[in-house]
Amino acid sequence: MKILCTICARGGSKGVKNKNIRVINSKPLIAYTIEQAKESKLFEHIVVSTDSDAIADISKQYGAEVFFKRDAKMASDTAGKLEVIRDAFIRSEEYYNEKFDYLIDLDATAPLRDVQDIINSFEQFLDADNDNLITAMPSRRSPYFNLIEQDKDGKIFVSKSLNETILRRQDSPKTYDMNASIYIWKRDTIRNNYSTVFLENTGLYIMPEERSIDIDSELDFKFVEFIMRENDAKR
């Protein structure tokens, strides 16, 4: 069973400048994900896809492999992540001259995941025989209760309606927030799928909120740094 790990990290982040290599709690952000991948002992190769020489250099220092530079068109604000991951997978099969049975992509901006999350999500994926798997946490807000929209006339309404009135959030259907932490695919699924992670046989692995923060802003960065320091203090 051959498993490839990809970590996609472009250099042009706008929400948090240079976030993938910005130091957080004494290490570059991307280092945490590389170290988790190595510690899981699941992977034949850990490949970083980037357009940045600085990200490439730091990734190599922490033990990842960077054998290509991502095309500029796949490093723009409008490039879809699925296309980038698929590109890295196909390039890796060509470069290493082997077929990988599975692909696990780990997002560099989700450093609070636990190594066991990687292992357990993959075991769940295999047990369920999914075509792909995504990770998420229980939603803090419900589209059936307290997520609202406003139409062009200014009318406000709950995003999703039910036949019965929901008086408590706890009584609404369970919903989840994708946390952009772990994505898993079978080989044929990632090679042949161009557009969406939501397939007929997509698995869902639930993670707690404290391991699910995806850094997309300065506030996220501060939250993650605080949690890391709290976790270190408990060890």
Chain segment 10-51, per-residue pLDDT in tens: 987 777 888 999 999 999 999 999 999 999 999 999 999 999
Q: How far apart are the C-alpha atoms of 55 and 21, rounded to whole Å? A: 6
For residues 111-134, give the mean pLDDT. Answer: 98
Q: Could you tell me the residue ranges of all domains in the chain?
A: 3-138+176-234, 140-174
- Examine the pLDDT at 75 and tell me if it is beyond 90: no
With beta carbons less than 8 A apart as the criterion, state whether 224 and 113 touch.
no
Rg (CA), the chain: 19
Enter the CATH code of domain 3-138+176-234: 3.90.550.10
Interhelix angle 115-128/29-40, rounded to 10 degrees, is: 50
- Examine the pLDDT at 90 and tell me if it is beyond 90: yes
- Examine the pLDDT at 78 and tell me if it is beyond 80: no
Give the model's pLDDT for residue 130.
98
For residues 104-109, give the mean pLDDT. Answer: 97
Considering the chain, what is the average pLDDT of its residues?
93
Mapped onto helix, strand or coil, the DSSP state of residue 116 is helix
